[in-house]
Chain A
């Protein structure tokens, strides 16, 4: 009987393969959306971009180890919420998880919407000849708000389609997006600065109604705005480290699938988890270096930084002089300008738009699992963990995401109460959540020794200290540095710290709301005879 196996427990095919999880991680640190969007804003730093990319990737690799370890020990839907509530306690777990995985995502919606208009709508509409609509989306508050509403609609449909269908969408987007990026790099590497200048002047005038001489005018405006960030340089100096708190807006998220790993096949395999997230981080970093090199070779690094400076200096209200180029300086569009073939231009921007479509579901998909996990612990009404029978959509969980997002998108799009200065809050609040999870990881071998010893990560030690603890200390130190820079902001570089009243009020109000929900539900459940401490001491079933 040696050729037969022993198999006892229930067989379960989880929705996602490890490759699906890799693609989700790859898109979560999205070079084209998050990357190019933030790079264009980072025009006033003195440390080299490539240095900052590499240094941040090294620190974030320790984040990958921390999360891969926790997933291997407890692969549960809800991720951070389950780990923190079971290791640090219910209150900390709930408050940190819902702020970082739910409430702050309301602020991410207008950011996704902003990237949607700049990366998808404006380039495609412009090349198709719809100049006025393109400019309306590119440069008006109404355009920004409508882009956010369209984003919400698209994302809601993606969530309704379920994990498996979404995996297909992101897989096709991945292949198409990579092809698009290949074309962009090819165009950039085969073009010359002179061809780019001529192409920009001709196309920006024809497609977007820019005045002749747009290249020189943009460069002048950018220089005036203080564009100085170098492509590389600075070694490991403080100047490079000061770039990191901005850089992580782009690449702090290879673990963004953490809350979904209850639905990923083979999630108890630590090495596979490291590989999935680690390759996403490594490949993205490499692609970023290649793309930035290609940009510097043909577009010209100085011009690229100046174009970003000219755009954001006006958007952020530091000048009344509108940018000479009336659309966001999108390198893929610039690359498309290196050819005069409209069809090829369209193909490039359409393929590159897949970077947005393959990524857009990340704004809600991970969050829904945290809401479900909290509802199963009875810290939210059971209703939010129900699906609509007809469509299979978690309609109430979606509404908890969508309705506040509309309000925040409105405030952001029309810059009410300085909401547009809060961009980096979106990263700060999640970093606080990650810090809670990192502390959980550091403590795991000591607080839950039985669970840890029975797990596949117990065999990994460094000088007798558990690897997850060592990685946690390094990544935790990195997070503390980031939080120090963001909150105290001694060099005045990030604008979301204690000097920004809107930022402080917005962030504090989220923690207060989370605490009210937690203690309110805990008290209500107590009256119903349910002891929440006992509920949250149990590890949820798979």
Chain B
């Protein structure tokens, strides 16, 4: 299982098979971005992405039996120490392929609470959260930036109920957490700079569309009233680290 198509099929297969066993698995990461970039996938650049999933806390104990049944073996050492929040499984016939599962909330540089949101999309986490999983990365790399652009190129921003990238969701999370606000707005600026000096394979219309959608997100974030805690944290600013450290670990 090496090609992008095979991996994509495997992702869908795992989500559907899990669903049959009442295990609410939802994809995030590169393949989830691809799932929402089908109309115009030109910005999606990935050879062999990992299989990344989120599962609710209540389903944690179903994970190991399910993945064993699907031909995967647990990373016992990793799961022992981290299994309450994250688990890793390897595909037995091809151990270079691994499944990475976050349990409960998405938590990397920032925490995205996902309680009750895993049923909004049948395959992936909701679009707004998927976008934020990329936009919350403090050390945003080229691949992350392209993923964000790919989502914005293929999906309108607006009403989550209409299958669009939920503006209210993004804005409300950023209005509660100054750290997330800081990173997301910083990354929007980085992406705008990337677009303006771009050697990206985009037409002028596509560039304009992307800038407009980024602007819509910015406006929604800025116009949403902020909590008292947000305002107090904003006064401290970047003198104190505003994000959780994510380490590079070679598994």
Q: Which residues on A sit within 8 Å (CB–CB) of B46? A: none
Q: Give the most central of A1, A3, A13: most B CB within 10 Å.
A: A13
A11 close to B (CB within 8 Å): yes
The distance in angstroms between the C-alpha atoms of A520 and B48, with both chains bound, is 45
Q: Which residues on A sit within 8 Å (CB–CB) of B190? A: 3-4
Q: Is the CB of A392 within 8 A of B141?
A: no
Q: Which of A93-101, A382-390, A507-515 contacts B (4 or more CB under 8 A)?
A: A382-390
Q: Is the CB of B250 within 8 A of A265?
A: no
Q: Is the CB of B64 within 8 A of A389?
A: yes
Tell me the number of A-to-B contacts counted with CB atoms below 8 Å: 88
The distance in angstroms between the C-alpha atoms of A389 and B245, with both chains bound, is 29
A394 close to B (CB within 8 Å): yes
Chain A residues with a Cβ closer than 8 Å to the other chain, count = 36
A230 close to B (CB within 8 Å): no
The distance in angstroms between the C-alpha atoms of A1 and B198, with both chains bound, is 9
Question: Quick one: closest B residue to A265, CB to CB?
Answer: B245
Q: Is the CB of B247 within 8 A of A5?
A: no
List residues of B (156-213) whose CB comes within 8 Å of A's CBs. 190, 193-194
The distance in angstroms between the C-alpha atoms of A541 and B80, with both chains bound, is 13
Report whether over half of chain B's contact residues are helix, strand or loop; otherwise say mixed. Answer: mixed
One of A6, A7, A8, A385 near B76 (C-beta < 8 A): A385
- Using known A-B contacts A11-B108, A541-B251, determine if residue A164 contacts B244 with beta carbons closer than 8 Å: no
Q: Is the CB of A11 within 8 A of B84?
A: no
A368 to chain B, nearest CB (A): 10
Q: Is the CB of B80 within 8 A of A386?
A: yes
The distance in angstroms between the C-alpha atoms of A9 and B139, with both chains bound, is 13
Q: Is the CB of A263 within 8 A of B248?
A: no
A14 close to B (CB within 8 Å): yes
Q: Is the CB of B80 within 8 A of A8?
A: no
Q: Which residues on A sit within 8 Å (CB–CB) of B61? A: 389-390
Interface mask (B77-121 → A, CB under 8 Å = 1, otherwise 0): 101111111000000000000001000000110000000000000
A12 close to B (CB within 8 Å): yes
Question: Quick one: closest A residue to B79, CB to CB?
Answer: A387
B142 close to A (CB within 8 Å): yes
B90 to chain A, nearest CB (A): 13
Q: Is the CB of B248 within 8 A of A10?
A: yes
Q: Is the CB of B80 within 8 A of A372?
A: yes
The distance in angstroms between the C-alpha atoms of A497 and B29, with both chains bound, is 61
Q: Is the CB of B141 within 8 A of A9?
A: no
Q: Which 5 A-B pairs have the closest CB atoms?
A: A5-B139, A9-B248, A11-B246, A12-B249, A389-B61
Known: A5-B141, A13-B244. 4 other contacts (CB 8 A): A13-B108, A15-B82, A389-B61, A392-B83
